[in-house]
Structure 1
Amino acid sequence: MRKQQEETRGAHALRRHPTPKRMPNRIYGRIHGTTVRIGRLAASVLAIASTGTVAAEDAAPGNLDEISVTAIRSEDRALQPAHTLSEQDIERRLPTDFNEVFRAVMGVGIRTNSRGEAVLRLRGSEERQSQIFIDGAPISVPWDGRADLSLFPASFIRNVSIIKSAAPIEYGANAVLGVVDISTFERSDVFKLNARSEMGNHGSYLMEGEVFVPVGGVDLQLGVNHFSRDAISVADGAPIPFDPQTGDGRTNTDLESTSFFAAAALEREWGSFRISAMDIDADKGIAAAAHIDPAEGSPRFWRYPDWHMTQLSLAGDIALSETTDLRMNAWHQRFEQKIVSYDDITYSTAEEQQDDRDRTYGGRLVLSQDWQALTTRLVTSLQESTHTQFETDLIADTSTEPEQFRQRLISIGGEVDIPLSNTVKSSLSLAYDRASTPLTGGRPVQPAISNWAAGGALEWQASNELTITTTLGQRTRFPTMRELYGNALGRFLLNPDLKPETALVGDLTFAWTPAALPLELTLTPWFTRIDDTLSQRNVTIDGVSRRQRYNLEGSRGYGIEMGANWQASSTITLEANAFWQDLKADRPAGGTRPVLYQRPKGQLLLAANYSFANGGNIRAEMNHLGHAFDENEDGTVARLDGSTEFNVKFYMPVKVTTYGIWQIYGAVNNITDTVVPPQLGLPDAGRAFKLGIRLVSD
């Protein structure tokens, strides 16, 4: 099997030049010793997927074969091992949105916060400490530093690379505890059509279509997606005693969204360019924290009647010479939303409205030079975002004057790759990051903040079967504009003394692929040390309790990840992933140790995939989440019990046509209707099902 796998990879490695001693960075990535053209990796993955048993092994979630869009692995570059999801991995999960793509991935946590946003956490990090990129551009709204993954359709994704440690310097400031790098790129010489329609419980409905059209040397992609639901299912009403739902789903969790995607790619001998556009328009309600008695506390009763994001991305890769390469990215994000606040959970009387508008421009340049004995990269990135907001008292029909905020992020750095021997390679990086807020909405002006970032990676190919990689890095996360200046319709008390978080992150990864067995094993112990950890506290002024952000003394954490993937037979693949962590805040002098909230102690995933001879697949999962802690409204600590949920998903071909294969598919998530409590008053969905039909180009 291993020999067949290497031969398959070799057959799909597209070389533009005769193989030199050292290959230009823009043309080649290194995957377990095999060079593969970066710009066509998606096509290679699809081709590998068609080889049956080889596909199941290559697509394994524990696989360290990396497909990274932003930080490209060259022949001599040592990079953090990444957890990858190929197109086949994603297909097996049958996701509707990004939220479902990342569930049950080792070391990745997803929770829906009190603002109704499905946010991602890597290795117990806060959601703002990890960044998400699509085609090299960050998708977080800079005002808040977060992205709502439940509003991004999964159909646009071709592959995902997840780095759960200090990110390479190409990702710039704020990616302190890892990144998710998503590619939408597809390569084909023929017309392709994908479409699907599905229905589920609580009135959920999805329709989408996508075409790929090669025209005159230009590759075109076009896609559209529409999704709606009436509510999110409820497993048990006990954790949400103040939600009046009566079996019809969680109150105020309806959603309707329409998305468009378009891309055009041009590839020539001198390089390549690709431009992509994504537009998402949504109307959604968010669940109130229904463990809080409205007569005693102040849960949010909010809706987002208008949530609209448009993002344009441009990526270019130019060979200036045989040894010099220039990669560039540019992006523009337009974001608008309305937040309407109501007086109670009936949502009958609207009290206040906040209108937000964000405009973001950014870019990145990476100049790589091969000096024969070593390779260097110079990286610079710049992003400027302007946030404008005003508030309206809907009862009095009065509005405030618009407030405007602006933040600039600059990162300049360099990296050098130094091969130490035929089996050992190293990479060292140094960068300078700076954040400034020239517009503060009339609040006190904050001085610019800057810090140095550094990192190193060492990779040792100990044998043909064992690879050992160690990484160490320091990164800085600057407070977002919202953390510095936002009051969330009067809920937050500002803190002008906020400082940035500084994280020291390290890990050691053992990846073993025995030649005699169809097995992959990974083991990664890791640690984090964060100074000035940002947290929240309750502050009471004149009898009114308000939230306030502040800096803890610091925090530290350590943990271990273990993954196993076994191709038990030509039709069965078994997966086992385990994750354990211990995170603690520093104890201040003379005080008690603060609790770090909503960090599950551990995670265990067991999964089995059965592939049918006709191309169908059935997947069964068990996902266990360990206990965590959260904060009650009165500031006391509450324990969140662990949970175990079971999921079953399948797809089966029913007809072959000229354009592809028609399949029926379905999924039942959380079969046992288990309460999954990532935080107080906002449990995850209970039992949910969907059934659909789709056309997949072959």
Structure 2
Amino acid sequence: MKYKVGLALSLVMASVLMGETFELGKIEVSDAKEIGYSSTTTVLDSQTMQDNERTTVVDALNTLSGISIQNGGGRNEQMVMVRGFDVKHAPLFIDGIPIAVPYDGYVDFSRFTTYDLSQIEVSKGLTSVLLGPNTFAGAINMVTKKPTKAFEGEVGVGVFSGNGKDGYITAGTNQGSFYGIVSLSGSQKDSYPLSGDFPSGIKYEDGGSRNNSASKDGKVNLKVGYTPNNSDEYSFNYIKQHATKDVPPFAGVIDGTIIKDSNPNTSGGGTVHFWKWDYWDKESYYFLSKTDFDNWYVKTRAYYDIFQNSLLMYTDPTYSTLSNGGSLAKASSNPSFYDDNTKGVSVETGVKLFEADTLKFALHYKEDTHKEGSTNGWTKAANPEYTMQDDISSFGVEYKRALTNSTALIVGTSYDWEKAQKAPNTNYGATGNYFSDAALTTPITSYATLKNFDLGEASSLNPMAKLETKIDETTSIYGGISKKSRIPSIKDRYSFKMGNYVPNPDLQEESIVNYEIGGTKSFDLVTFKAALFYADIRDYIQSAYVPIWYKPTGAAVQQQQLKNIGEVSEKGIELEASFLLADHFSFDGSYTYLDMKNETDSNVKITDVPKHKFFASTKYEFTKSLAWILSYEYDSERFTSYVLSGSNIYYSSGDASIWGTKLVYNPTKELAFEAGVKNLFDENYYVNYGYPEAGRVFYGNVKYKF
């Protein structure tokens, strides 16, 4: 089954295993048969992820238009950019449940595998106002699998370069009114190989196997459901993840020389980090329901999401001696650990007012709690405990009017509001800290004497209007305008960032106005999809230097602060095409052009976003049992920013051309043998400058369906 986005092809989209779509887990209507369906939502199905060997969510999403990878090299976290904006602006969901670290809004996409997913929904631009807060640039939703037979499942094992191995098993049952499924998966590697073209003489990296790049992941996913009739459904879900991962050190050149050390003996900050994640754990409990009445329905989501991690910071590449983790006496701790959780509930209801009119409402509420401090034997005296809390709510209303049998108008608005509930000063009572004015003569004592910060708050009204029409059964077009917002995270407002920033409790929401037109055209064997968009971003949160200096020891460091000072413009085009060249030969491709400009200060570049991106894959079936898959990705250069000597320095990643190939042999319908190569031509390339990506990677898999 190939990845199809067009009108006709979307009708036949289905997963090979657990074929019925888990409707409770979806966040947007994507049925092309319905006038007013979500034309701005793309669906990536599980078979396509398997064909292209996309075993993690970040790799799977990288095949789509409008999506680029963001590699947080210093933390070894992989995320994606949706039309140039990160996960804080386009949140990640699982079955409609938001999952992100409450403290900063980030999440490591590479920790989420695709084995237990039936599809991934990606909504961009003119997204529904019912999705909830912070869908500034869109939303990404992982939809888990649902069984359809009395007993079915799949098991797979694989090996790959870097002494890597992975495995999974999924088994489920559907007994009519009741169903259940369990999925177990795990993956580990000692390292990943660097390209043979990686340069020599780089400090902290000698080529071959990437230094300090081991990782281990495990996940269990449980689901039980009750379907009393054809329209109602109730489901309880539990997901537990555990990971450990190393952080490869910076391996690049700054100012024409091999990167020199920061001050690792006294600080965990600086350009070079010697870090390891001792554990990265996530646990989710959630209940989903849908109840249909004669002309209306009610959907609910209730969830409790737990995120815990521990970061170990060392003084040198021997990884034998812990540093003090920073220079703020009380705020600094080593290890640095989070104990965060999110509790939330969402209710959506829709009513068919008349034959041509539908009205929907959605209410979302969540409580984000961040706790950092004394656990795992660390005493409060050395590592004081503190708790921060943010409450976020959203109310949305959406009205759809079928103007004709082929044209629909969708209008709506949401109102988002947030209020910080707890914001202790993590530097309160610290000694040996010296914040002062530019002359270094007048101390600023509030950062050590103020026990609690002011409680920040923000709110935003977000209207949307969209017109969609089907010219005929093979052609549809749409256009519209929407306003969205992104509320600052707890970290945005209150973090000292290891002595480099001062907090800003008054930080307000960012806003974006999207303008977009697009359409889909299908022929017998070909489908095209296009979108043209422009966005105006106001009050964008950016860093600025402020007249405050910090001098714990040695030279004074001028502080930065996050402020609502940015104005950014964005324009782009997305093109997608699917070809069925013959019964045994198919092709899928996508191209993205994205131009983002900092209108406030042209000297401040937009980072992590390539201007051009192209992805294509083709599948050729020699026989019913033997298939060959070839993929190609091109990314133009993107920039990474480093702060040195009080100023930003930008480094280009360069462009990259990455090929992949795979052979699949199916001796029976149930059994598959796979062998392939990622980065076939061993390209030395970067997503984040200084953190080289994997060179040529060989892999092999065995899979069995039952």
* TM-score grouping bracket, smaller chain normalisation: 0.7 to 0.9
How far apart are the structure 1 equivalents of 2:70 and 2:153? 33
Give the counterpart of 1:294 among 256, 261, 272: 261
Matches within 5 A, 1:135-534: 135-215=95-175, 217-235=177-195, 236-238=197-199, 241-247=202-208, 249-269=209-229, 271-291=232-252, 292-295=259-262, 297-319=270-292, 321-351=293-323, 352-372=334-354, 373-390=356-373, 399-442=382-425, 443-490=452-499, 492-514=501-523, 517-534=524-541
Q: For the Cα contact (< 8 Å) 1:393–1:399, is it kept in 2? A: no
How far apart are the structure 2 equivalents of 1:339 and 1:180? 27
Give the counterpart of 2:591 among 549, 560, 578: 578
Matches within 5 A, 1:34-45: 45=15
The residue type equivalent to 1:174 in the other structure is N
For the residue of structure 2 that corresponds to 1:654, the secondary structure is coil
Give the counterpart of 1:651 among 658, 664, 674: 664
Q: For the Cα contact (< 8 Å) 2:121–2:140, is it kept in 1? A: yes
The residue type equivalent to 1:124 in the other structure is G
Cross-structure match for 1:664: 673
Cross-structure match for 2:436: none
The residue type equivalent to 1:618 in the other structure is W
For the residue of structure 2 that corresponds to 1:551, the secondary structure is strand
**Structure 2 vs 1, CA of residues 68 and 642 (structure 1 numbering), >3 Å: closer, same or farther?**
farther
How far apart are the structure 1 equivalents of 2:146 and 2:76? 32
How far apart are the structure 2 equivalents of 1:70 and 1:265? 18
Shift of 1:203: 1.0
Cross-structure match for 1:3: none
Q: For the Cα contact (< 8 Å) 1:174–1:476, is it kept in 2? A: yes
| Deviations, residues 113-165 of structure 1 (Å, cap 9, x unaligned) | 02111111111113311111111101212212122111112101101121121
**Structure 2 vs 1, CA of residues 508 and 392 (structure 1 numbering), >3 Å: closer, same or farther?**
same
Cross-structure match for 2:630: 620
Give the counterpart of 1:107 among 38, 47, 66: 66
How far apart are the structure 1 equivalents of 2:10 and 2:608? 41
Shift of 1:654: 3.0
Shift of 1:382: 0.4
Cross-structure match for 2:433: none
Give the counterpart of 1:631 among 627, 632, 641: 641
For the residue of structure 2 that corresponds to 1:666, the secondary structure is strand
Q: For the Cα contact (< 8 Å) 1:80–1:165, is it kept in 2? A: no
Give the counterpart of 1:87 among 46, 50, 61: 46
How far apart are the structure 2 equivalents of 1:331 and 1:421? 40
For the residue of structure 2 that corresponds to 1:303, the secondary structure is strand
The residue type equivalent to 1:355 in the other structure is F
Of the structure 1 ranges 284-293 and 643-652, higher mean CA displacement relative to structure 2 is found in 284-293
| Deviations, residues 356-403 of structure 1 (Å, cap 9, x unaligned) | 101211111111000113110011000101110027999999622111
Q: For the Cα contact (< 8 Å) 1:92–1:650, is it kept in 2? A: no
2:32 matches 1:71: no
The residue type equivalent to 2:352 in the other structure is D
Cross-structure match for 1:602: 612
Q: Which runs of 5+ in 1 are unaligned?
A: 1-8, 10-29, 51-58, 60-65
Cross-structure match for 1:22: none
Q: For the Cα contact (< 8 Å) 1:49–1:88, is it kept in 2? A: no
Q: For the Cα contact (< 8 Å) 1:76–1:417, is it kept in 2? A: no
| Deviations, residues 509-559 of structure 1 (Å, cap 9, x unaligned) | 121102xx4101112111111111123457764433666433333101101
- Identity within the alignment, %: 17
2:67 matches 1:133: no
Of the structure 1 ranges 440-449 and 578-587, higher mean CA displacement relative to structure 2 is found in 440-449
The residue type equivalent to 2:401 in the other structure is I
Shift of 1:268: 1.8
Q: For the Cα contact (< 8 Å) 1:240–1:289, is it kept in 2? A: no
How far apart are the structure 1 equivalents of 2:204 and 2:198? 8
How far apart are the structure 2 equivalents of 1:168 and 1:413? 9
For the residue of structure 2 that corresponds to 1:482, the secondary structure is helix
**Structure 2 vs 1, CA of residues 581 and 633 (structure 1 numbering), >3 Å: closer, same or farther?**
same
Cross-structure match for 1:552: 565
How far apart are the structure 2 equivalents of 1:234 and 1:142? 34
Question: What is the TM-score when the length of structure 1 is the normalising length?
Answer: 0.86
Q: For the Cα contact (< 8 Å) 1:350–1:394, is it kept in 2? A: no
How far apart are the structure 2 equivalents of 1:240 and 1:479? 41
The residue type equivalent to 2:171 in the other structure is V
**Structure 2 vs 1, CA of residues 632 and 447 (structure 1 numbering), >3 Å: closer, same or farther?**
closer
Shift of 1:332: 1.0
How far apart are the structure 2 equivalents of 1:396 and 1:300? 25
Q: For the Cα contact (< 8 Å) 1:67–1:160, is it kept in 2? A: no
Shift of 1:240: 9.0
For the residue of structure 2 that corresponds to 1:425, the secondary structure is strand
The residue type equivalent to 1:587 in the other structure is T
The residue type equivalent to 2:322 in the other structure is A
**Structure 2 vs 1, CA of residues 327 and 34 (structure 1 numbering), >3 Å: closer, same or farther?**
farther
For the residue of structure 1 that corresponds to 2:236, the secondary structure is strand
Shift of 1:285: 0.8
The residue type equivalent to 1:559 in the other structure is G
Shift of 1:32: 4.6
Q: For the Cα contact (< 8 Å) 1:67–1:159, is it kept in 2? A: no
**Structure 2 vs 1, CA of residues 518 and 655 (structure 1 numbering), >3 Å: closer, same or farther?**
closer
How far apart are the structure 1 equivalents of 2:388 and 2:336? 15
Q: For the Cα contact (< 8 Å) 2:130–2:398, is it kept in 1? A: no
How far apart are the structure 2 equivalents of 1:491 and 1:356? 20
Cross-structure match for 1:4: none
Shift of 1:629: 2.0
Shift of 1:593: 4.1
How far apart are the structure 1 equivalents of 2:201 and 2:194? 9
How far apart are the structure 1 equivalents of 2:61 and 2:91? 14
How far apart are the structure 1 equivalents of 2:96 and 2:675? 32
For the residue of structure 2 that corresponds to 1:163, the secondary structure is strand
For the residue of structure 2 that corresponds to 1:631, the secondary structure is strand
Question: What is the TM-score when the length of structure 2 is the normalising length?
Answer: 0.85
Q: What is the count of residue pairs matched by the alignment? A: 639
The residue type equivalent to 2:537 in the other structure is I
Q: For the Cα contact (< 8 Å) 2:24–2:288, is it kept in 1? A: no
